[in-house]
Amino acid sequence: MQKLGDFKLPHFFNYPPYFTLQPVRDTREKQVQVWKELILDYCRTQKIFVIGLEEDFPLFSNPVIERSLSHEAREAFISALVSEAGRAEWLGKGHRKCLILWHRIQDWADIILRFVKDNGLEDSVITVEEMRSGVECRGTELHGIDRAILMRALRLLEQKGKLAIFKGTSADDEGVKFSM
């Protein structure tokens, strides 16, 4: 079986027609389904948060069978993820980059809450940057999380009154005050 790093690729990845958008509706639905699963799976295991449609993404081509996905196909698969509630979100209107949410925003929010409890931060202040690269987050899923996703999850918690986000001295140094 073919592998990408330590990721086991599914067998359809070696079957050329899966790289061409299928014209027949039923067949296409199944095709989109397996691609959606593959993209989510791959991003989850490789901790990838953003896919650029125009960039080299390992899943978009298979040199072994000399096939690659057309732009149309890439957009179709990613769009299918976007329309599946909460699995992906376009970044900007051009549909060039996409956030891949292998954890939904709500799930990320729950992970943050757990992180706060585990570290006794219920009434403390922490910077956004610390949450994704500080000592406390080592070994948790928050380590290395995409900033955009982290902010979306924090905003969700802010709406629920669990915390307040405030600006620090510089633009990319926002802080979070928990009140739980």
Where does this chain bind another protein (CB under 8 A)? 1, 10-12, 14-20, 22-24, 26-27, 30-31, 33, 66-68
Rank residues 30 and 132 by Cβ distance to another protein and give the closer one: 30
Residue with tokens 């633009």: 171
Distance between CA 153 and CA 137 in Å, rounded? Answer: 16
Cβ–Cβ < 8 Å for 103, 114: no
10 Å CB burial of residue 89 (0-12, 13-18, 19+) is middle
Number of residues assigned to the chain = 180
- Shortest distance in whole angstroms from residue 18 CB to another protein: 8
- Shortest distance in whole angstroms from residue 166 CB to another protein: 47
- Shortest distance in whole angstroms from residue 21 CB to another protein: 9
With b for 16 or more beta-carbon neighbours within 10 A and e for fewer, the 94-105 pattern comes to: eeebbbbbbbeb
Rank residues 3 and 93 by Cβ distance to another protein and give the closer one: 3
Rank residues 25 and 167 by Cβ distance to another protein and give the closer one: 25
Rank residues 17 and 86 by Cβ distance to another protein and give the closer one: 17
- Shortest distance in whole angstroms from residue 13 CB to another protein: 10
- Provide the pairing of β-strand 97-100 with 50-52: antiparallel
Distance between CA 19 and CA 70 in Å, rounded? Answer: 8
Rank residues 67 and 96 by Cβ distance to another protein and give the closer one: 67
- Shortest distance in whole angstroms from residue 77 CB to another protein: 15
